[in-house]
């Protein structure tokens, strides 16, 4: 880790998780404004676009090493560069994917992940029809080859899209093989050692929230 990376890591540890979740929204919005020809953008402009209070946006951006000009705002190109660097999108992080089902296959086809710093370099499954093939140029290996491939690839992130009944088993295998962070797409709350980073992204959990809010609104 370089000195700059260490400083950036130390600073990012101070940022509340809700802020980290909102910063990519700001980045995407500012990129759209750039496409429209805007050279400067204010918190108020961003607020109108994504319906987040301008004061909250200003507070979130205060965690990032950038300052705006009074009555002008932030320089668009600089804000994009600073946000991408702060969020780690400028560094390419390689990952293995486990479970090439419908969701896993969709992620392999999503070339847009590279724009956010994540490159899935290989996938693992046990389905005979899949093993030995490629999807979107990404090789699919048998799960038993994981440890060997860990020695061949520079990977520390695992994307988990396996059936729920084997989620913990595959997680344990990943961690034993050297994976340091798990992006978990299953609805199972995997158990990991304290030094392992986990990001849970359960589509079903988000569906439950959406359905609940929809039903509540219909009752009103």
Place of tokens 């400028």: 90
Shared domain for 78 and 99, answered yes or no, is no
Residue 130 lies in a domain: yes
Check which CATH number belongs to the domain holding 132 and give it: 3.40.50.720
Shared domain for 77 and 100, answered yes or no, is no
Residue 2 lies in a domain: no
Shared domain for 137 and 65, answered yes or no, is no
Across the range 61-87, mean pLDDT stands at 88
Question: Is there a binding annotation on residue 103?
Answer: yes
Work out how many domains the chain is built from and give that number. 2
Q: What is the pLDDT of residue 204?
A: 80
- Boundary of a domain, candidates 57, 85, 113: 85
Q: Where are the alpha helices (DSSP H) in the chain?
A: 3-12, 17-35, 43-50, 54-61, 76-87, 102-109, 146-152, 167-177, 203-219
Residue 152 lies in a domain: yes
Shared domain for 152 and 193, answered yes or no, is yes
Shared domain for 51 and 104, answered yes or no, is no
Give residue 149's domain range: 91-203
Shared domain for 72 and 171, answered yes or no, is no
Predicted confidence (pLDDT) per residue in 166-214, tens digit? 999 999 999 999 999 999 999 999 999 999 999 999 888 878 888 988 8
Residue 144 lies in a domain: yes
Residue 34 lies in a domain: yes
- Boundary of a domain, candidates 69, 85, 101: 85
Question: Is there a binding annotation on residue 87?
Answer: no
Residue 150 lies in a domain: yes
Q: What is the pLDDT of residue 205?
A: 80
Residue 129 lies in a domain: yes
Question: Is there a binding annotation on residue 99?
Answer: yes
Backbone phi, psi, residue 123, to 5°: -130, 160
User: What is the pLDDT confidence band of residue 71, given thresholds at 50, 70 and 90?
Assistant: confident
Question: Is there a binding annotation on residue 117?
Answer: no
- Residue 170's nearest CA partner among 152, 190, 148 is 190
Question: Is there a binding annotation on residue 104?
Answer: yes
Q: What is the pLDDT of residue 215?
A: 82
Shared domain for 68 and 103, answered yes or no, is no
Shared domain for 19 and 39, answered yes or no, is yes
State how far the Cα of 201 lies from the Cα of 199, in Å rounded to an integer. Answer: 6
Q: Is the pLDDT of residue 12 over 70?
A: no
User: What is the pLDDT confidence band of residue 67, given thresholds at 50, 70 and 90?
Assistant: confident
Q: Is the pLDDT of residue 9 over 60?
A: no
Question: Is there a binding annotation on residue 101?
Answer: yes
């Amino acid at each position: 880790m370089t000195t700059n990376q260490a400083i950036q890591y130390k600073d990012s540890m101070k940022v509340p998780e809700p802020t980290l979740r909102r910063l990519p929204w700001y980045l995407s919005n500012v990129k759209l404004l750039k496409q429209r020809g805007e050279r400067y953008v204010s918190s108020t402009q961003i607020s109108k676009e994504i319906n987040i209070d301008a004061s909250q946006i200003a507070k979130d951006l205060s965690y990032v090493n950038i300052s705006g000009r009074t009555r002008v705002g932030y320089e668009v190109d600089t804000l994009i560069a600073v946000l991408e660097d702060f969020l780690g999108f400028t560094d390419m992080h390689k990952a293995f994917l486990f479970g090439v089902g419908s969701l896993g296959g969709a992620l392999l086809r999503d070339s847009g992940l590279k724009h956010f710093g994540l490159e899935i370099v290989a996938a693992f499954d046990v389905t005979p029809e899949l093993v030995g093939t490629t999807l979107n140029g990404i090789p699919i290996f048998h799960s038993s080859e994981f440890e060997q491939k860990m020695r061949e690839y520079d990977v520390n992130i695992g994307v988990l899209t396996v059936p729920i009944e084997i989620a913990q088993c595959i997680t344990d295998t990943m961690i034993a093989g050297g994976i340091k962070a798990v992006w978990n797409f299953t609805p199972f709350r995997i158990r990991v050692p304290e030094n392992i980073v986990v990001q849970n992204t359960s589509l079903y959990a988000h569906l439950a929230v959406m359905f609940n809010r929809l039903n509540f609104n219909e009752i009103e």
